[in-house]
Amino acid sequence: MNADKLLHPIQVGNLSLPNRIFMAPLTRQRASQPGNVPTALNATYYAQRASAGLIVTEATQVMPEGQGYAWTPGMHTDAQQAGWKLVTDAVHAAGGHIALQLWHVGRISHRHVQPDGKLPVAPSAIQANAQTFVVHPDGSMGMVQTDLPRALEVEELAGIVAAFRAAARRAIDTGFDFVEIHGANGYLLDQFQSTGPNQRTDAYGGSVENRARLTLEVVDAIVAEIGAARTGIRLSPFGTFNDIADTEAEAMAFYLTEQLDARKLAYVHIAEPDWAGGPQLADAFRAALRQRFKGTLIFAGGYTLEKAEALIASGVGDAVAFGRPFIANPDLPARFAKGAELNAPDASTFYGGADKGYTDYPSLAS
Neighbours of 201 (CB within 10 A): 9
Render pLDDT for 222-245 as a digit per residue (tens, 0 to 9).
Answer: 999 999 999 999 999 999 999 999
Nearest C-alpha neighbor of 219 from the set 187, 147, 185, 267: 267
Q: Is the pLDDT of residue 276 over 70?
A: no
Q: Tell me whether residue 205 is in a domain.
A: yes
pLDDT at 228: 98
pLDDT band at 46 (very low <50, low <70, confident <90, very high): very high
Catalytic sites, residue numbers: 187
Q: Is the pLDDT of residue 249 over 90?
A: yes
Q: Tell me whether residue 230 is in a domain.
A: yes
pLDDT at 366: 65
pLDDT at 177: 98
Q: Is the pLDDT of residue 275 over 70?
A: no
- Mean pLDDT across 91-113: 98
State which residues form the domain around 109: 10-349
pLDDT at 277: 76
Number of domains in the chain: 1
Q: Is the pLDDT of residue 71 over 70?
A: yes
15-17 and 10-12 strand pairing? antiparallel
Q: Is the pLDDT of residue 12 over 70?
A: yes
pLDDT band at 278 (very low <50, low <70, confident <90, very high): confident
- Mean pLDDT across 69-95: 98
* CATH value at residue 59: 3.20.20.70
Render pLDDT for 15-37 as a digit per residue (tens, 0 to 9).
Answer: 999 999 999 999 999 999 999 99
- Mean pLDDT across 153-176: 98
pLDDT at 53: 98
Distance CA 122, CA 172 (A): 28
Q: Tell me whether residue 365 is in a domain.
A: no
Q: Is the pLDDT of residue 3 over 90?
A: no
Higher pLDDT pick, 61 / 273? 61
Q: Tell me whether residue 363 is in a domain.
A: no
Q: Tell me whether residue 356 is in a domain.
A: no
Q: What is the mean pLDDT of the chain?
A: 97
pLDDT at 2: 84
- Mean pLDDT across 151-155: 98
Q: Tell me whether residue 331 is in a domain.
A: yes
Q: Tell me whether residue 4 is in a domain.
A: no
Q: Tell me whether residue 187 is in a domain.
A: yes
Cis preceding linkage at 34, omega within 30: yes
Q: What's the pTM value of the predicted model, to 2 decimals?
A: 0.97
